[in-house]
Structure 1
Amino acid sequence: MTNLLHNIGYFFREAKTIVRLNLLSNMVSLISTGLIFFILAMVVAGWWISIDVIEVIQGEAEINVYFDESLNAADLQDLIKGIGSIEGVREVRLVDEKEAYARMEEILGEEARVLEFFEDNPFNPFIEVKIHLEQITSILEKLTSTQDVAYVRDNQEILERLRSLSRVLEFSGYLAAVAVGISTLVIVSHMIRLEIYNNREQINTLRLLGAPESFIGLPFLIVGILLTLSGGLVAASMSHLVLNQIYAQMAGPLPFIPLPPFAAFARKLAALIILLSIGLGLTGSLVGLSSEKGN
C-alpha cells in the first residue's frame, strides 16, 4: 500500500497517457455514459417528484360520512368524536350545508349558475374524515357498522389507483436504475479491456520486469473511475438545467402541484448520480481488469 501511494503521481500520469492515446474512443465513452446517467437522473427525478406528489395527495385522502339528519347537536358531536377515535383517522370535521354549497360553486366555476334554479340548498351536511390511506379498508368497515351513519362516500377506487400508481412508479425507478447500472458496467468493462489490449506490449514488459498486477492495473482503474465520474458530472449539470426549466414552466400554469424545493432536490439528485458514477466506474473497471488478468 505504501508503495502504491508513493507512486500515485506515476499512476495518474499513466492514466492521462492512456486517455490521450485513445482520445476519440474515450470521448465517445464519456458522452455515452453521460447520456446514460442523464436518462437515469431524469427517471429518478420523475420518480421522486411523482412519489412526493402522490404522498401529498395521499396525505389529503378523505372520505365523506353522511349521517341521519334527525340527530340532535349532542348526538352529532358524539358521532364525530367516535369517528375521530377510529384508528387510521387523522382529522374529522363537520361540513354544513352552506360550506357544501360554496364548495360546489367553486368546483363548477362559471357553470355554478345552474345552482340558482334550486329554491332550497340541495346539499346535505356531512362529516369530512381525513385518513391514512393504507388503513382505508379497516376504517370503512368500522364506519359502515357505526350507528347513525347513513352513507359513506369513500372514493376507494380513486385512492386505490393512487396506491397502484405509487407502486408502478417505484418499480419503474428501480428498473431504470438496474438497466443503467448494467449498461454502465458493460461500457466501462469493455473500455478497460480495449485499453488493456491496446497497451498489451507495455503491460507485458512491466510483467517481465516483475511489476505486480495491482501496479499495472491501477492506471486503468483510475481511467474507468474518471470516465464515469466525468459522465456523472455532465449528467448532473444537464439535469440541473433541465429541472430548472421544468420547475419554471410548472410554476406558472400548474402552481397547485406540490413540487419539492428545487435547491435541495437538485443537490440530492446530483449527489446520487455522482456517487453512482463513482461506484459503477470502480465496479466496471474491476470487472474489466479481472476479465483480462493474465492475458
Structure 2
Amino acid sequence: MKMFKNTGYYFKEASTLFKIDFKTNLLSILSMGLVLTILGIVISGILVGDNFIEILSREADIGVFYSEDLNLVDRLAIKDELKKIKGLVEIIEVDKEESLKEMEEVLGGDKDVLELFDENPFLPYFNLKVELDEREGVLKALEGIRNISHVRDNNEVVEKIKILINNMKIIGVFLAVAVSLVSAIVISHIIRQGIYLNRERIETLTLLGAPPSFIKIPFLIEGVFMSLLAGALSALMLFLLIVLFYSKASSMFLPLPEKGILIVTNVVLTVGVSLILGILGSSTGVGGQVGE
C-alpha cells in the first residue's frame, strides 16, 4: 500500500529523469519508433500476402484456352469433353470481348494502356469452376483433350507467392529479434546513463534509508514510458502508411485484408511489443545498479 501512496512521487521523478537528458532521450524514441515501423511494414506485407494466398486458394477457377481460329464444331467438342470431367461445377465460355473487359477491370485506372493495341490481343477461353478436392484430377484430365492451347492455373501463382511470403516471414523473424535486442539495449543504456547522472542523489537517498525499490521505480517508469512513446509513434506512422497505401491501391487488382483489421493488428502489436521491451530493458538497466 505504501508503494501506491508514492505513485505521484514516482511519476514526478520519472518526468525529471526524462528531462535531464531530453535531447538524447527524444532521439532514442525516434530511432526505436522507426525500427518498430520497419518491423510493422514487414508484418503488414506478410498479412497482405497471406490474405492474397487465401483468396487465390479459394478461387479454384481454371482457364482453358484454345486458338481463336478453332471452328465451332471443334470448340463444341472441347466443351463436351470438359463436361465429362469429374469435379467440374460450372463451365463458362468467355469470348474475346469478355476477356478484354475482364482485363480492363483488372487494370482499373490503367486500362488506357490497352488502347495501344490495334486489335484485341486476348484469347477466348473456357472458365472452369471446380471443386477444390478435385482440382488435381481436373488438371490431369485436361491434358488428354485435343485443341487446348494452354491451361491457366492459379495454383502456380499461389505456390510462387507462398515462397515469397515464407521468405518474408524468415526476414520478419530475424528483424523481430534484432528490433527486440536493439530496443532493449537502448532502453537499458538510457537507464544506466540516468543512474550515472543521478549517482550522488541515489547515494544520498540510500544513506537516508530509502529502499532499493523506492529508488528503482522512477527509472523503470522512465524506460517503459519512453518505449511506449516509441510504440505510439510507430503505430501512428503505420496508420498513416496503411491509409496512404489503401488509397493508392484502390484502383489496383490486389485482394487486401480489411483496412481496419490491418491497422488494429499493427497498433496492438507495436504498442504491445514496445511495452514488453520497455519492461525488459528497464529491468536490465536498473538490475544491480541501484541499492547495492
TM interval, short-chain normalised: 0.7 to 0.9
1:274 is matched with 271
Quote how far apart the aligned CAs of 1:57 are.
3.0
Residues 242-281 of structure 1 deviation map (CA, whole Å, 9 limit, x = unaligned): 3222222222xx3322233333432332222111111111
Normalized against structure 2, the TM-score is what? 0.76
Percent identity reads 29
Distance 1:164 1:248, change over 3 A: same
Q: Structure 2 CA distance, aligned partners of 1:19 and 1:240?
A: 27
Whether the aligned pair in 2 keeps the contact of 1:105 and 1:112 (CA below 8 Å) is no
Counterpart Cα distance in 2 of 1:245 and 1:114: 35
Q: Supply the distance in 2 between the matched residues of 1:35 and 1:102 (Cα, whole angstroms).
A: 49
- Structure 1 position 4, deviation (Å): 1.4
Q: Does 1:286 align with 2:283?
A: yes
* SS of residue matched to 1:258: coil
Q: Match of 2:253, as an amino acid?
A: F
Q: Is the 8 A contact 1:51 1:169 kept in 2?
A: no
C-alpha separation between the residues in 2 aligned to 1:247 and 1:172? Answer: 24
Aligned match of 1:113? 119
Give 2:252's match in structure 1, choosing from 250, 255, 264: 255
SS in 2 for 1:113: coil
1:83 aligns with 2:67: no
Alpha-carbon separation, structure 1, partners of 2:129 and 2:199: 72
Residue aligning to 1:204: 203
For 1:56-205, what aligned pairs fall within 5 Å after superposition? 56-64=55-63, 77=83, 79-80=84-85, 82-84=86-88, 92-96=89-93, 99-106=94-101, 107=103, 111=117, 113=119, 126=126, 128-130=128-130, 139-140=135-136, 142-143=137-138, 150=145, 153=151, 155=153, 157-205=156-204
- CA, structure 1 residues 72+167, in 2 after alignment: closer, same or farther (shift >3 Å)? closer
What's 2:212 paired with? 213
1:286 CA drift (Å): 0.9
Structure 1: unaligned runs, 5 residues or longer: 85-91, 117-121
> Residue 153 of structure 1 aligns to a residue in which SS?
strand
Residue 217 and residue 160 in structure 1: after superposition, are their counterparts in 2 closer, same or farther (change >3 A)?
same
Against the structure 1 CA distance between its residues 160 and 45, is the aligned structure 2 distance closer, same or farther, given a 3 Å change threshold?
Answer: closer
Rounded Cα–Cα distance in structure 2 between residues aligned with 1:72 and 1:199: 84
Residue 45 of structure 2 aligns to which amino acid in structure 1? G
TM-score for the superposition, normalised by structure 1:
0.75
Aligned match of 2:108:
none
For structure 2, the residue ranges without an aligned partner over 5 or more in a row are 66-73, 105-113
Aligned Cα root-mean-square deviation (Å): 3.5
Q: Structure 1 residues 112 and 163, CA, compared in 2 at 3 Å: closer, same or farther?
A: farther
Q: Could you tell me which residue of structure 2 aligns to residue 53 of structure 1?
A: 52
Give aligned pairs, total: 269
SS of the residue 1:292 aligns to: coil
Aligned-partner residue type, residue 209 of structure 1:
L
- TM superposition shift of 1:195: 0.9
Q: What does residue 87 of structure 1 align with?
A: none
Q: Secondary structure at the match of 2:9?
A: helix
Displacement of 1:240 after TM fit? 1.9
Query: Is the alpha carbon distance of 1:50 and 1:159 closer, same or farther for their aligned partners in structure 2, counting shifts above 3 Å?
Result: closer
Shift of 1:12: 0.9
1:219 and 1:61 mapped to 2: Cα distance? 59
> What corresponds to 2:223 in structure 1?
224
State the 1:94 CA deviation.
1.0
Relative to structure 1, is the Cα distance of residues 242 and 157 closer, same or farther in structure 2, using a 3 angstrom cutoff?
closer
158-167 or 285-294: which moved more? 285-294
Tell me the CA shift for residue 126 of structure 1: 4.5
